Chain A
Amino acid sequence: MSELATAATAGHTERSGSLWADAWRELYRNPVFVVASVVVLIVMSWAVFPTLWTSTGTDGGTCELVDSRLGPSSEHIFGTTFQGCDMYSHVINGARPSIIIAVLVTLATTLIGVALGVIAGFYGGWLDTVLSRITDVFLGLPFLLGALVFLALLGEQNIWTVSAVLVVLSWPPITRIMRGSVIQVKALDYVEAARALGASNMSIIFRHILPNSIAPVIVLATLYLGGFVSAEATLTFLGVGLQIPEISWGITVAQGQDYAIAGYPHLLIFPCAALIITVLAFIVMGDAMRDALDPRGR
């Protein structure tokens, strides 16, 4: 951190050389980060504007059972699914539920985690003890196992319930990291100085603590986006996530699994590739951000 501080004060020409400005400058010069962001933007556009990419419409188009499991051809560039639907259209439309869930859950967990983390870290005392023990209780449930139980017991599985369950199970790590980060920043001299100047708790939190302690949470949130895409697909694959008329990569893989063994590998290759590339792009982005925001990791 001290290296960064000296570097920042040395570069007078740059605008105040904050951690964020430095990080941003490093990120947009990093080709890996740029490529990953472009991939993320493309997948996001599959989710938001699927009609830009495929003419078959958001329901995956008409499916003809006669066309079941056709290999890739000029008419169906990725071949067809078991039900005779166009695989390309399924790959494009499958992005929507994953991306919606990932964005929704990441926003919600970050908000909850940051709020609780600041409260626990800043105020301390019995509030911290209670919040930390509650965090421990939720951390005690293994993630996938917990999600499976919650969804199986809820009995109703759609985008909203899957998102809710993922939020319930994934706010604790963010809370914990935010709490630690806030405690670290709280002890710094400028917080002391602000207090001596008579700043209220609220203004200390929003002006000094939050901007200086949120970096690790931002990094984790980016990694979470990829994790939730993967979690949604996994739960759907296991049969407790999204259910059939919905189009999702998890469902496509689950349906393709049996027939791929029987010699139709394209039923698996395309949806798996879409999923892997999406998760990979988010994780590479998160890694690049961590390197930029935390110079010690280099």
Chain B
Amino acid sequence: MGRYVLRRLLQFIPVLLGTMFLLHYLQTVSIQINGNPITALFGDRQPPPQTLAAITTAFGLDDPCLQQTGNPCLGMFLDRMSGYTQGDFGVDFNRQPITRLIADAAPVTVRLTIIAVLFESLVGILAGVVAGIRKNGFADNFIRLSTTLVISVPVFVLGVLVQIGSGLYVGVWLRDNGAPEWLSAAFSVTYQTDHPWASLLVPGVVLGAFSLGFIARLTRTSLIETLRADYVRTARAKGLSRRRVVGIHALRNSLIPVVTYIGIDLGALMGGALVTEGIFNIPGVGGLVFGSVAAGETPVIIAVVTMLTLVFLLASLLVDVLYAVLDPRIRYE
């Protein structure tokens, strides 16, 4: 196992640098083709050239290589990487450190993601187990049908529909019938700072819905396969109760791919969080990206996406290492 973990760690370094470089190169090419992003700040009323030049220098966008289309600007890349290692992710156009913007927004997104992961794994695994132990029964067919449906609904469609259904119809009904405040906050159209958990409940469920379908299917297939294994038959032959055979012997082994999926799914959740936060007006990291895309603030977009990508890569690394710990059969060569 040690060798596998070491290999995985060594592979992580070029991938990390490569992904960072890809994002950097994208930004330089975009500046080389579309011109200085600072000019976009001012719209029709452009400042005098000296002011423009001064602002450009202040944001470190005065490198001559940005004039040469196709030049990868390796010098800028190295500067940026050394900045990242010191925790310097640059500033936005209001000269706010981007790290602070993210620090303000991250807790909201983390809460949203926790709700989504809890929802998708609890309900997903439960549905998968119910479907798996009664293969081809009514519950199985029902769960297969509904997971296919859930997978087919794009997050933003589910978001806008649920927002109207829960926020408008259920929410108004609850308020009219004197439901407690936290409950009507849970079914409101937007995020409410007074109820940091309750008002993220519905968006979290929307965010987790897509992966829920996959988790349920994965659990089902994996459980069905494990239930055929010899050791499960042995356990049954020994006279163990069905509950113990399924719960202890089969389920633990069939959850390995599910756990991996939940780890890898973090990337999809980040993209989904962007959509969900946009729809429900949640001031999280997704909202930050959304806002900076609308305002054309490329430094913020690049910095935030770089950070999110780092989180994603670290999570995948962790999952792969955990995978090797959980399942001793795994020895990739």
- Give the residues in chain A near B156, CB-CB below 8 Å: 233-234, 237-238, 250, 253
Chain A residue at smallest Cβ distance from B217: A287
Q: Is the CB–CB distance between A238 and B278 below 8 Å? A: yes
Q: Is the CB–CB distance between B313 and A276 below 8 Å? A: no
CA distance A140 to B161 in the complex (A): 31
Minimum CB–CB distance for A280 against chain B, Å: 4
Q: A140-B312, A142-B270, A145-B289 are in contact. Are A133 and B148 (CB under 8 A)?
A: no
Q: Is the CB–CB distance between A272 and B289 below 8 Å? A: no
Question: Which residue of the partner chain, among A145, A226, A257, A279, contacts B274 with CB atoms under 8 Å?
Answer: A145
- Give the residues in chain B near A287, CB-CB below 8 Å: 148
Chain B residue at smallest Cβ distance from A260: B164
Q: How many residues of B contact A (CB 8 A)?
A: 55
Q: Is the CB–CB distance between B15 and A153 below 8 Å? A: no
Minimum CB–CB distance for A177 against chain B, Å: 15
- Give the residues in chain A near B312, CB-CB below 8 Å: 140, 142
The 4 A-B pairs at the shortest CB distance, nearest first, are namely: A144-B271, A137-B18, A142-B267, A153-B30
Residues of B whose CB lies within 8 Å of any CB of A are: 11, 14-16, 18-19, 22-23, 26-27, 29-30, 33-34, 148-149, 151-157, 160-161, 163-164, 167-168, 189, 221, 266-268, 270-272, 274-275, 278-279, 289-290, 293-294, 296, 298, 301-302, 305, 308-309, 312-313, 316
Q: Is the CB–CB distance between A137 and B22 below 8 Å? A: yes
CA distance A86 to B234 in the complex (A): 65
Q: Is the CB–CB distance between A145 and B271 below 8 Å? A: yes
Minimum CB–CB distance for A203 against chain B, Å: 29
Chain A residue at smallest Cβ distance from B278: A238
Q: Is the CB–CB distance between A144 and B272 below 8 Å? A: yes
A44 at the interface (CB under 8 A from B): no
CA distance A250 to B313 in the complex (A): 30
A251 at the interface (CB under 8 A from B): no
Q: Is the CB–CB distance between A280 and B149 below 8 Å? A: yes
CA distance A276 to B210 in the complex (A): 13
Chain B residue at smallest Cβ distance from A232: B154
Minimum CB–CB distance for A142 against chain B, Å: 4
CA distance A72 to B274 in the complex (A): 33
Chain A residue at smallest Cβ distance from B168: A261
In chain A, positions 138-193 with a C-beta closer than 8 Å to chain B are 138, 140-146, 148-150, 152-155
Which of A145, A150, A275 neighbours the largest number of chain B CB atoms within 10 Å of its CB? A145
A111 at the interface (CB under 8 A from B): no
Question: Which residue of the partner chain, among B11, B16, B26, B271, contacts A142 with CB atoms under 8 Å?
Answer: B271
Query: Can you list 19 A-B contacts (CB < 8 A)?
Result: A133-B18, A140-B309, A140-B312, A141-B23, A142-B268, A142-B270, A144-B274, A148-B293, A152-B301, A234-B275, A238-B156, A257-B160, A260-B160, A260-B164, A261-B168, A276-B157, A279-B152, A280-B149, A283-B148
A136 at the interface (CB under 8 A from B): yes
- Give the residues in chain A near B29, CB-CB below 8 Å: 153
Q: A140-B15, A143-B268 are in contact. Are A154 and B30 (CB under 8 A)?
A: yes
- Give the residues in chain B near A257, CB-CB below 8 Å: 160, 279
Contact residues of A: prevailing secondary structure:
helix
Minimum CB–CB distance for B147 against chain A, Å: 10
Chain A residue at smallest Cβ distance from B272: A144
Q: Is the CB–CB distance between B305 and A149 below 8 Å? A: yes
Minimum CB–CB distance for A52 against chain B, Å: 25
Q: How many residues of A contact B (CB 8 A)?
A: 43
Residues of A whose CB lies within 8 Å of any CB of B are: 133-134, 136-138, 140-146, 148-150, 152-155, 226, 230, 233-234, 237-240, 250, 253, 257, 260-261, 265, 268, 272, 275-276, 279-280, 283-284, 287, 297
Question: Which residue of the partner chain, among A136, A233, A238, A297, contacts B18 with CB atoms under 8 Å?
Answer: A136
Q: A145-B305, A261-B164 are in contact. Are A136 and B15 (CB under 8 A)?
A: yes
Chain A residue at smallest Cβ distance from B149: A280
Chain B residue at smallest Cβ distance from A230: B154
Q: A143-B268, A279-B153, A280-B148 are in contact. List 5 more A-B contacts (CB 8 A).
A: A137-B18, A137-B19, A143-B271, A152-B293, A234-B275
Q: A137-B18, A234-B155, A272-B157 are in contact. Are A149 and B148 (CB under 8 A)?
A: no
- Give the residues in chain B near A140, CB-CB below 8 Å: 15-16, 18-19, 309, 312-313, 316
- Give the residues in chain B near A145, CB-CB below 8 Å: 267, 270-271, 274, 289, 305, 308-309
Question: Which residue of the partner chain, among B153, B266, B301, contacts A153 with CB atoms under 8 Å?
Answer: B301
Q: Is the CB–CB distance between A253 and B301 below 8 Å? A: no
- Give the residues in chain A near B301, CB-CB below 8 Å: 149, 152-153
Chain B residue at smallest Cβ distance from A283: B152
- Give the residues in chain A near B271, CB-CB below 8 Å: 142-145, 148
- Give the residues in chain B near A154, CB-CB below 8 Å: 30
Q: Is the CB–CB distance between B302 and A226 below 8 Å? A: no
CA distance A265 to B160 in the complex (A): 11
CA distance A157 to B64 in the complex (A): 28
CA distance A145 to B301 in the complex (A): 10
Which of A136, A150, A260, A279 neighbours the largest number of chain B CB atoms within 10 Å of its CB? A136
Chain A residue at smallest Cβ distance from B298: A153
CA distance A201 to B49 in the complex (A): 61
- Give the residues in chain A near B308, CB-CB below 8 Å: 142, 145
Minimum CB–CB distance for B297 against chain A, Å: 10
- Give the residues in chain A near B18, CB-CB below 8 Å: 133-134, 136-137, 140
Question: Which residue of the partner chain, among B14, B23, B152, contacts A226 with CB atoms under 8 Å?
Answer: B152
Chain A residue at smallest Cβ distance from B34: A155
Chain B residue at smallest Cβ distance from A280: B152
- Give the residues in chain A near B293, CB-CB below 8 Å: 148, 152, 238-240
Chain B residue at smallest Cβ distance from A223: B151
- Give the residues in chain B near A141, CB-CB below 8 Å: 19, 22-23, 309
- Give the residues in chain A near B11, CB-CB below 8 Å: 133, 136
